[in-house]
Amino acid sequence: MTLTEREYMLIENKVLSEFSELIREQRCNDYEGGLKVGVDLGTANIVVAVVDEKNMPVTGATAVSTFVKDGIVVDFVGAMQTVRKLKEQLEERLGRTLEFAATAIPPGIISANVKCISNVVEGAGFEVTNVMDEPTAASKVLDIKDGAVVDVGGGTTGISILKDGKVIFTADEATGGTHMTLVLAGYYGISIVEAEKLKKDITKEDTVFPIIKPVVQKMASIVKRFLDGYEVPAVYVVGGASCFTDFEKVFEKELGIQTIKPNDALLVTPLGIAFEQAAGSM
């Protein structure tokens, strides 16, 4: 992608807005042919995305998650049951069975955890056709050829660096939305549940963001270290924890690199996972 990113992103933002609307309104678009499914087991949210053969959004569903921490499944049964429930909701909406799905992991987690995440999706009734890392999945939606994709999740900050359309580096490190919540809980002397609710209250963003800004700066410092030795024209931030209005401004100041955040940043990765479901398994 050239440095007309901000203009180009307007096109991608329309796709994300449409996907967000399908989830919010619990409906599906008309489609022809096969369907592809992506399951994103996040720390804060589980999202199931369904797209057609041309990667256009068809439908999707999401649920709050407490089953995964830093890419590790801590409640297998709870995660499996939630994915199964979302699968059933979408099947009823579509009037057909969804058999296959792709899923994703944070970069750098050990093979046993990769298998556990696959087992959750399979236990919910899918056959897993592909497992990829989360930032790379996001890059598929944004159609990035050169740059860095940073996926800010609940527990970790992950990165994929791309050159000429190929991933040349991936990594992640602990620090994510959960750390923002912990800072708020400590600052106000409130419970984790109350702090999480406060963090997500958009009417309180002007008060909340200055408090959690040091966490965002820590995330940027992690990314800056990962970028050492690489030349990237732009950084793209996605993930639910990046949804604060000034998030990308902090990154851009810390990195000294143009930083772009699409709208509906939480939904970029699950949509990209669906894009990458193996061909022929739809």
Would you call 177 helix, strand, or coil by DSSP? helix
| Average pLDDT of every residue of the chain | 91
Q: How far apart are CA 238 and CA 241, in angstroms?
A: 8
23 vs 63: CA distance, rounded Å? 11
How many CA atoms are closer than 13 Å to the CA of 120, on its beta-carbon side?
Answer: 32
Q: Locate 181 and state its tokens.
A: 């919540």
> Which single residue is written with the structure tokens 């549940």?
193
Question: Which carries the bigger pLDDT value, residue 280 or residue 203?
Answer: 203
CB 90 within 8 A of CB 19: no
Q: Which domains, ranges and CATH numbers included, belong to the chain?
A: 5-137+266-275 (3.30.420.40), 139-265 (3.30.420.40)
Integer Cα distance of 90 and 63 in angstroms:
13
Question: Quick check: 35 and 98 in contact, CB under 8 A?
Answer: yes
How confident is the model over 172-188, as a mean pLDDT? 94
151 — pLDDT class (breaks 50, 70, 90): very high
Q: How many CB atoms lie within 10 A of CB 229?
A: 7
To 10 degrees, the CA torsion angle through 83, 197, 178, 176?
A: 90
Pairing relationship of beta strands 100-105 and 127-133 according to DSSP bridges: parallel
Using pLDDT thresholds of 50, 70 and 90, give the confidence band for residue 281.
Answer: low
Tell me what pLDDT residue 2 has.
44
pLDDT at 280: 47
Q: Bigger pLDDT: 113 or 272? A: 272
Output 106 or 225, whichever has higher pLDDT: 225
Q: Which amino acid is at 143?
A: D
Contacts of 194 (CB under 8 A, 6+ apart): 185, 188
Q: How confident is the model at residue 177 (pLDDT cuts 50, 70, 90)?
A: very high
pLDDT of residue 98: 96
Beta bridge partners of 57: 51
At 282 the pLDDT is 59
179 pLDDT above the threshold of 70: yes
List, in sequence order, every residue forming a beta bridge with 100; answer none if it has no partner: 127
Cα distance between residue 222 and residue 248, in whole Å: 14
Mean pLDDT along residues 152-161: 90
Residue 114 pLDDT grade (very low, low, confident, very high; cuts 50, 70, 90): confident
Q: Residue 5: which pLDDT band, with cuts at 50, 70 and 90? A: low
Reduced to 3 states (helix: H, G, I; strand: E, B; else coil), residue 135 is helix
Residues in contact with 166: Cβ distance below 8 Å, sequence separation at least 6, in sequence order: none
Lowest-confidence segment of 40-54, 60-74, 186-200 by average pLDDT: 60-74
Q: Per the structure block, which two tokens stand in for 76?
A: 């297998």
68-69 and 57-64 strand pairing? unpaired
Residues in the chain: 282
